[in-house]
Amino acid sequence: MRYKHTQIGHTIIWVALGAAVFVATMGTFAQGGPGTSLIVEVILLICAVMFCKLTIRIDDETLRWSFGIGIVRKQVLLAEIAACEPIRIRWWNGWGIHLTPYGWLYNVSGLDAVAIRLRDGQKFALGTDDPQALVDAIERLISRIQLNPGLTRWRAELCDA
């Protein structure tokens, strides 16, 4: 593992838990009974577990990121990355997964992120509380791949065999 960083989404956790408590409290006073509020509470708790943290990992060939317990995850080969830079997103770009001017944004907290552009023109951004370290790791490993272009091809051929 060349890089690994996990950012905890404290606000997401507290908002989801607070909303679940609020729904539970209101559900006990509602005429419909606790059935409907229980469903909403379960959904809120599942969201808290699924989006409580964002982990970014980089090995010799792949940039990977995953939310929470890892059900929602993505990856891209480092050889496909053309450029990356630290950015500051706007507060209205929010948290979670959604489309922004930087492409798809994956974020759990804060306003710092790293914008990544792939060789095919696609772009996305990864929220992080340590953007410069992520940029440095990506650039270091990209330059290593560019110096040894056959390394990735050789490993791919081994995997296909």
Distance between CA atoms of residues 2 and 60, nearest Å: 7
pLDDT of residue 148: 65
pLDDT > 70: percent of the chain: 83
What's the pTM value of the predicted model, to 2 decimals? 0.79
pLDDT of residue 32: 57
pLDDT of residue 35: 67
Q: Please compute the mean of the pLDDT values over residues 4-11 and round it to a whole number.
A: 92
Task: Please state the domain extents for the chain.
Answer: 8-50, 53-160
User: Which is higher by pLDDT, 136 or 34?
Assistant: 136
The per-residue pLDDT for range 30-63, each reduced to its tens digit, is 655 556 677 888 888 888 888 899 999 999 899 9
pLDDT above 60 (res 153): no
The structure tokens listed for 152 are 């990735």
The per-residue pLDDT for range 79-94, each reduced to its tens digit, is 999 999 999 998 887 7
Q: Are strands 96-100 and 53-58 parallel, antiparallel or unpaired?
A: unpaired
Q: CA-CA distances (angstroms) from residue 39 to 13, 27, 28, 51, 110?
A: 18, 11, 13, 18, 29
How long, in residues, is the chain? 161
pLDDT of residue 76: 97
CATH dotted code for 53-160: 2.30.29.30
pLDDT of residue 44: 84
